[in-house]
Amino acid sequence: MKKQHHPITATIGVLAASAFVLAGCSSGSKGDDGDAALDVPFGATTPAASGPLETVTWMLGGEPTTLDADIDATTADDTVLANVCDRLMQVQPDLTLGHGLASDAEWTDDTHLVFTIRQGALFHDGSPVSTADVVWSMQRHSVEGAAESDEYRNVVSIEQTGADQITVTTSQPDAILLQAMAGDGGIVWNPRVIEAEGEDFGSPGSASACSGPYQVTSWEAGSQLTITRFPDYWNSDVEPLADEVVFRWADETAIANSVTTGEAQGSFLENAGAARSFIGSADVSVYQGPSTNAWVLETTDRGALTDERIRQALSLALDRTGVAAAAFGGLAQPWKTPVGSGAWGYEVDTFEQAYDALEGAPAKPSDADLAAAEDLIAEAGAPSAPIVVASNGSSTHNVIANALVAAAQSIGLEAEITVIPQVQYGDFYSDPELRGQADLWPDEYYISKNDPLGFYKNGASDASVNFGVFSDPEYDALVDKGYAATDDVERAEITTELQKRWVEHAVWIPVVATPSTLIMSNAVTGVPSSAAFIYYPWAVDLGSAKG
Amino acid sequence: MTFAFRKLAGMVFTLVIASFVIFAAMYAAPGDPVTFLIGNPENLTPERIASVRAQYHLDEPMLVQYWHWASGVLTGDFGQSFQYHQPVSALLAARVPITLSLVAYAAVVLTVVGIGLGIVAAVRRGKAADTAIVGVTTLAASIPSFVLGIAFVALFAVELRWFPVAGAGSAGLDRVYALTLPALTLAITALAIVSRVTRQSMIEQFSSEHVEAARASGLRERYIVRDHVLRGAWGPIITMVALVIASMIAGTVAVETVFGISGVGSLLVDAINTHDFPVVQAVLLFMVVAYMIVTTIVDLLLPVLDPRIRRRTVSA
């Protein structure tokens, strides 16, 4: 997974909330503020576009930091790069895996993955995309310290084995390597441009080194970034309707205001709750779609939570519906697992059925759930010290921390909240001393590949985000088996078994899934509403709503 | 000559002390930059943490780290932003002009309106206009700038659509147009202090001997106000306007955030939250330097405007 950068949410949280109230009473475009079921379409895409557009303004949550994905890639960077850079494979709007610059990819045995590279594609500088360029790019991604190098950790060698053929040799089976080639680790770079730009590559003003359907034509640092249709795009099936997309960036409130006034046509929101004020609007629509994002209560080995019965009891008693309503205005889903449905990039039926069968994480605890939780506590014995849950003071963290305290109290446990400064909150992942101050901490977690195995590997006893509450040799063996299963059906079975074990043992306590959330002017349409916008060239589907 | 030299040496000394204090404060602040530098928690292995610490010199003692930074600055290298992976100088170059235009715009509004209101209040002292001006500006001063900004956006940008809701516009008139609401927001909250100082300073002059003398010689009241009262009152007014402007440079943070402006203020908040040391350091030093420049200009300007003042300095 990649952690999002959390820009200024804490300082501005109060401010944004008050802005909402003000904007709400003044704009008058809101529908009812009652809590009737929210009529928000949920799916992979928005209605297809029917007409061309000269220019579209799209809001980002922050300024892109660099367009060199091997250095770093924030959500804003990825939202732009998805349209500019082709990858070997391509995530589709429904989050399944399609082909990109590789027309074919096949595991010939457990440790050899063979790619067939399309011939005839052109980089934005007009030079052809050669098989050797692809090898060069993969090697650049795999260099120690490069942002995507972890995707290549099992890769031993990358060699050109034919005019249009590349063979990747791995040290052990790695079933999700192919998924990774649809992400930033699969971008095909133009080596000539990168070598010519040197240190400056990726910063404002540096030349494009990609072959995607759009190219960056200007980046005025601090103000805006423009991408323009690339006329010589190799895939003639792709016919973008929008000639250019202008990206601007602002905080959540300013994004909402820009879309309200029509200064911008849309935005993929980082916080689903921010779309609440557009529900019922006559000019702007809200769309949601699958993503892998989920809010979880991560657990530490500080004290009582090392006993899985306490974790199970807390999970049974947690009011997830309440959290979804209070923290996300109903735009999140109570969720039974620590990873959203966007992870189901294959064998969707298998994952759906397995999800439905899961128990132990009710949306709203029933009397039976509470009784079961109390039995678990009785069996385990109430912990001597109160359970401590952390918050960084943001409204979402506070709501979830409070929900956990309420859950604990409802089953006779003592619990309290400790506030950790926002700038320090991320250190829970790296600092054992900080973990010593709390039993649980809420956070939003997501994975960058659409395969739940990429999440459940974190339950292995040696995983870097397993903080000592769970260790099971059988689970570890299943993870290895999953990674060896290049066959989707087999891997889905193993992964659902891992999921079952994770939820049964309540390794982390799942809270809500936060779907990908899009606000868009009714004048434009077509883009995916799933989390595919991170890697899929979503702007090619964007167009006018009227023909 | 010795005056200029002493002034310059004082500024350099202030800068060195300020940079060290800022560096020490960032160093002592909670939170580990490595968490942000690596980003993905699944990559936070001890080996990776160690290698990133070494790469950014984070494993060295504070004084050594400070020296790394300071020796770079001496050669004009402010380092690379941890977050943007660009030279800090490039980041600042893109944002300083925006913040300076915002402050300049606000300063013009503040000076014209603030001094204007002060003059009216002083001339009509004790009357209804005076009470109204003092009352309204005091009320305006009590509204935090971000609250005022949000209200302005809601009313003038979202509801009436007279101004853009976010951004600083492109160059020229478009920028002036886009920066109107933020500049008004910055200026309005500071109006009270400037109009009050203007009023007070003028009222003192009204009762001074040279004004009495002018009045006794039968001069018309408007000439008395212009040539005698205001002339004698400029010192405190200019000093106060300068101090307000200097503090505005450091005070654009909230306004920039509300109006979605990528200036140094929003860069600073962002950098503090992501432990982007080199950027924090450079932005704060920029603010210190800007403060010193503004106060120095006033020091030089005051004796010109009022010969009674000789090298009486306002800066610390």
> Out of A15, A62, A263, whose CB is closest to B150?
A15
Q: Coil, strand, or helix at residue A472?
A: coil
- For chain A, percent of residues with pLDDT exceeding 70: 93
Q: Which range is least confidently modeled, A430-434, A459-463, B278-282, B308-312?
A: B308-312
**Is residue A505 a contact partner of residue A311, using CB atoms and an 8 Å limit?**
yes
Minimum CA–CA partner of B144 in chain A: A15
Read off the tokens for A103.
């027309």
Q: Do B273 and A258 touch (CB under 8 A)?
A: no
pLDDT of residue A133: 96
pLDDT of residue B309: 63
CA distance B163 to B146: 17
CB contact under 8 A, A426 and B153: no
Least CB–CB distance from B42: residue in A12, A65, A458: A458
Are A294 and A339 contacting, i.e. CB atoms less than 8 angstroms apart? yes
Q: Is residue A116 a contact partner of residue A103, using CB atoms and an 8 Å limit?
A: yes
pLDDT at A259 over 50: yes
Amino acid letter at B314? Answer: V
pLDDT at residue B56 in the model: 87
* DSSP tag of A487: S
Q: Tell me the chain B residues in contact with residue A263 when contact means C-beta distances shorter than 8 Å.
A: 164-166
pLDDT at B312 over 60: no
- Structure confidence at residue B117 (pLDDT): 93
- One-character DSSP codes across A95-122: S-EEESSEEEEEEEETTEEEEEE-SS-B
Stretch A346-365: mean pLDDT, rounded?
95
Is B147 or A23 the better-scoring residue by pLDDT? B147
A204 contacts B94? CB cut-off 8 A: yes
Task: Find the closest chain A residue to B166 by CA distance.
Answer: A254
B3, pLDDT greater than 80: no
pLDDT of residue B219: 79
In angstroms, the CA A440 to CA A417 distance is: 10
CA A530 to chain centre: 10
Task: State the Cα–Cα distance between residues A316 and A404, nearest whole angstrom.
Answer: 11
Q: How far apart are CA B134 and CA B300, in angstroms?
A: 31
- Confidence label for A488 from pLDDT (cuts 50, 70 and 90): very high
A15, A197, A283: best to mutate for the B interface, most B CBs within 10 A: A15
pLDDT for the residue A33: 39
Which of A8, A23, A248 is opposite residue B269, by nearest beta carbon? Answer: A8
Three-state secondary structure readout of A212-249: CCEEEEEEECCCEEEEEECCCCCCCCCCCCEEEEEEEE
Q: Which of B32, B40, B45 sits opposite A2 (nearest CB)?
A: B40
How wide is the angle at C-alpha B246 spanned by C-alphas B242 and B250, nearest 5°? 160
What tokens does A174 get? 């790695």
Amino acid at A279: I
Average pLDDT in chain A: 90
- Please name the member of B55, B91, B151 whose beta carbon is closest to the beta carbon of A22: B151
Say if CB A326 and CB A400 are below 8 A apart: no
Q: Above 80 in pLDDT, residue A63?
A: yes
The Cα B291–Cα A421 span in angstroms is: 30
Rounded CA-CA distance A140/A497 in Å is 36
| Nearest CA-CA partner of B300 in B316, B315, B285, B286 | B315
B173 confidence band (pLDDT: 50, 70, 90) = confident
Please provide the DSSP assignment of A122-133 as one string. B-TTS-B--HHH
Name the pLDDT band for A547 (thresholds 50, 70, 90).
low
More confidently predicted of B167 and A314: A314
pLDDT over 90 for what percent of chain B?
A: 29
- For A442-482, write each residue's pLDDT tens digit: 999 999 899 999 999 999 998 888 998 999 999 999 999 99
Nearest CA in chain B to A59: B166
Chain B residues with beta carbon closer than 8 angstroms to that of A147: 39
Q: Do A203 and B90 touch (CB under 8 A)?
A: yes
- Give the integer Cα–Cα distance in Å for A522 and A356: 35
Burial A289-299 (b: 16+ CB within 10 A, else e): bbbbbbbbbbb
> What is the per-residue pLDDT across A499-519, written as a single tens digit (0 to 9) for each?
999 999 999 999 999 999 999
Residues of B in contact with A204 (CB under 8 A): 86, 90, 94
CB count in 10 Å sphere of residue A358: 16
- Bridge-based pairing state of the strands A415-419 and A387-391: parallel
* Beta carbon pairs, A and B, within 8 Å: 177
Confidence class for position A21, pLDDT limits 50, 70, 90? very low
Q: Do A263 and B164 touch (CB under 8 A)?
A: yes
Take residue B121 and report the two structure tokens written for it. Answer: 């209040």
B31 and A223 within 8 Å at the Cβ level: the answer is no
**CB contacts, 8 Å: A260 with chain B:** 158, 165
Report residue A358 as tokens. 């899961």
DSSP state of A38: P
Give me the mean pLDDT over the A36-61 stretch. Answer: 89
- CA-closest candidate to residue A400, choices A328, A482, A346: A328
Q: ipTM score here?
A: 0.84
* More confident of the two residues A382 and A91: A91
A19 chain-B contacts, CB cut-off 8 A:
150, 153-154, 258
Report the residue of chain B nearest A19, measured CA to CA: B150
Q: For the residues A98-120, what does the mean pLDDT come to?
A: 94
| Cα dihedral B247, B248, B250, B254 sign | positive
Element (H, E) at B68: helix B62-74
Q: What is the DSSP string of A132-148?
A: HHHHHHHHHHHSTTSTT
Nearest CA among B46, B244, B211 for reference residue B145: B244
- Calpha distance B115→A229 (Å, rounded): 53
Tally DSSP H helices, then E strands, for chain B: 16, 0
> Using the beta-carbon criterion (under 8 Å), do A253 and B95 form an inter-chain contact?
no
β-bridge partners, A269: A517
Dihedral sign for Cα atoms in the order B148, B150, B153, B158:
negative
List the single residue in B with minimal CA-CA distance to A206: B86
Q: Which residues on A lie below 8 Å from B262 (Cβ)? A: 63, 221-223, 249
| Closest-CA residue to A483 (of A454, A507, A442, A462) | A454
Q: CA geometry: angle at A507 spanning A501 and A511, to 5°?
A: 105
Q: Which residue has 């928690």 as its token pair?
A: B41
Between B231-250 and B88-109, two packed helices, what is the crossing angle to 10 degrees?
A: 140
Share of chain A above pLDDT 90, in %: 80
A520 Cβ contact list (under 8 Å, min separation 6):
A46, A259, A265, A266, A267, A284, A285, A287, A527
Report CB contact under 8 Å: B154, A22: yes
Contact yes or no for A222 and B98 at CB 8 A: yes
Name which of A23, A220, A250 is nearest B260 (Cβ-Cβ).
A250
Does the pTM of the predicted model rise above 0.90?
Answer: no
Q: What is the mean pLDDT of chain B?
A: 87
CB contact under 8 A, B258 and A464: no
CB within 8 Å: A26 and B158: yes
A221: closest CA of chain B, how far (Å): 6
pLDDT per position as a tens digit, B201-248: 888 888 888 888 888 888 787 888 877 788 878 888 988 999 999 888
Distance CA B161, CA A149 (A): 48
The amino acid sitting at A207 is A
Burial of A96 (0-12, 13-18, 19+ CB in 10 A): middle
Specify whether the CB–CB gap between B236 and B248 falls below 8 A.
no
**Cα dihedral sign, B32-B34-B37-B40:** negative
Distance CA A397, CA A428 (A): 14
Annotate A277-335 with three-state secondary structure.
HHCCCCCEEEEEECCCCEEEEEECCCCHHHCHHHHHHHHHHCCHHHHHHHHHCCCCEEC
* Residue linked to tokens 């992501």: B274
Q: Which residue do the tokens 């649980």 mark? A: A440
